[in-house]
Amino acid sequence: MAIEVGAKMEGKVTGITHFGAFVDLSGGVTGLVHISEVADSYVKDIHEHLKVNDIVTVKVINVDQNGKIGLSIRQAVDKPPEQQQQPYSRGPRGDRGGRPFKGGGGGRASFEDKVSRFLKDSEERISSLKKSTESKRGGRGGRRS
């Protein structure tokens, strides 16, 4: 049976390492579920989620040129539409300006707005840092002899 990217199948956990779990698929083919693909939340210890001989449903996320198969348990679970991440939409110029800017107004800010806010914040921080260092030196930045 050919393994295709996007296919969902069942497999048996045959081994667990600190970086993931090996899953035996049909026909003696083995794939790896990376620890980041075990659950939607952070996984510190994979043994809290999986044990050897567990039967799991996995989704094939990649097959590289060497035949290594990348699997995902968390992508194999069907989620309600409101929980699925929406991809960023393309902006009017074709760029990926989909993330809302955290500034006031609630709308999206242009790149120029972001840069000007960054420059303003940077100048304020540098000014504050200079004042702090000058006061520790004892004045207007004069050097001690």
Question: In the chain, how many H helices and how many E strands?
Answer: 1, 5
Same domain, yes or no: 69 and 115: no
91 domain residue, yes or no? no
Same domain, yes or no: 68 and 117: no
Residue 30: CATH number of its domain: 2.40.50.140
142 domain residue, yes or no? no
Same domain, yes or no: 73 and 12: yes
pLDDT tens profile 69-115: 999 999 988 776 655 555 555 555 555 555 544 444 555 678 888 88
Structural domain boundaries enclosing 18: 8-77
Q: What is the pTM of this model?
A: 0.54
Same domain, yes or no: 23 and 72: yes
70 domain residue, yes or no? yes
Domain boundary (62, 77, 92) is at: 77
Same domain, yes or no: 12 and 45: yes
Q: Count how many domains the chain has.
A: 2
Helix, strand, coil abundance in the chain, percent, nearest 5: 25, 25, 50
Distance of CA 80 to the CA centre of its chain: 21
Same domain, yes or no: 105 and 48: no
pLDDT tens profile 129-142: 888 887 777 655 55
Pick from 46, 47, 49, 56: nearest CA to 24: 56
